């Protein structure tokens, strides 16, 4: 019962963290947080009983820097949804392609790297898409849907949390 997970929200209802029931009860008892959703059951002390929280909201705002998503192969493939940006095929065997080749001054940035299938990458070779007669399906850009908070898959099934989590 004390090992249950509790969703901790910032003052502006942004998901911050997951903590254990014991920590959540202490935060609520010390008026550092308020309980938004209660779980099932109570914890009894000598003189009082406390409902088990499922979601709490802090009474003060926590400012934290937004982490930047690192440019990795997997992140580029996820951004492009495992689709070749030249022919549109959805394949799992993809390569990274620099829109402006690196030997021509192209940088390793979100705006210059796309996923490409092996035949398209060979066809384009060390040329720009215009020189190779190929068009990009989407203009490459940094991913926008980065969430600063990650919830492990087994915990996503808690129904009381769903209205507080971004889809």
Give the pLDDT confidence score for residue 15 in this predicted structure. Answer: 87
Q: What is the DSSP string of the chain?
A: -TT-EEEEE-TTS-EEEEEEHHHHHHHHHTTSEEEEEEEEEEEE-SS-EEEEEEEEEESS----PPPPPP--HHHHHHHTTTB-TTT--B-S-EEEEESS-GGGT--SSTTTEEEEEHHHHHHHTTS-HHHHT---SS-----S---S----GGGGG-GGGGGGS--
For 78-110, the pLDDT digits (tens) are: 889 899 999 999 988 999 999 999 999 999 999
In order of their start, the domains of the chain are 5-64 (no CATH), 73-132 (1.10.30.50)
Residues with pLDDT less than 70, the chain: 1-2, 145-157, 167
pTM of the model: 0.54
Give the pLDDT confidence score for residue 146 in this predicted structure. Answer: 55
Give the pLDDT confidence score for residue 155 in this predicted structure. Answer: 58
């Amino acid at each position: 019962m004390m090992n249950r997970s509790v969703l901790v929200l910032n003052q502006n209802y942004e998901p911050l963290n997951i903590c254990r029931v014991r920590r959540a009860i202490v935060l609520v008892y010390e008026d550092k947080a308020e309980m938004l959703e209660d779980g099932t059951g109570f914890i009894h002390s000598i003189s009082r009983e406390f409902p088990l929280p499922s979601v709490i909201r802090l009474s003060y705002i926590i400012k934290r820097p937004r982490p930047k998503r690192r440019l990795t192969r997997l992140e580029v493939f996820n951004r492009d949804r495992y689709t070749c940006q030249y022919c549109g095929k959805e394949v799992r065997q993809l390569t990274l392609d620099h829109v402006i080749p690196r030997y021509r001054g192209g940088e390793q940035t979100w705006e210059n790297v796309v996923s490409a299938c092996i035949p398209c990458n060979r066809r384009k070779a060390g040329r720009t898409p215009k020189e190779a007669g190929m068009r990009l399906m989407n203009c490459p850009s940094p991913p926008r849907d980065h969430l600063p908070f990650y919830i492990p898959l087994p915990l996503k099934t808690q129904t009381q949390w769903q209205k507080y989590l971004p889809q």
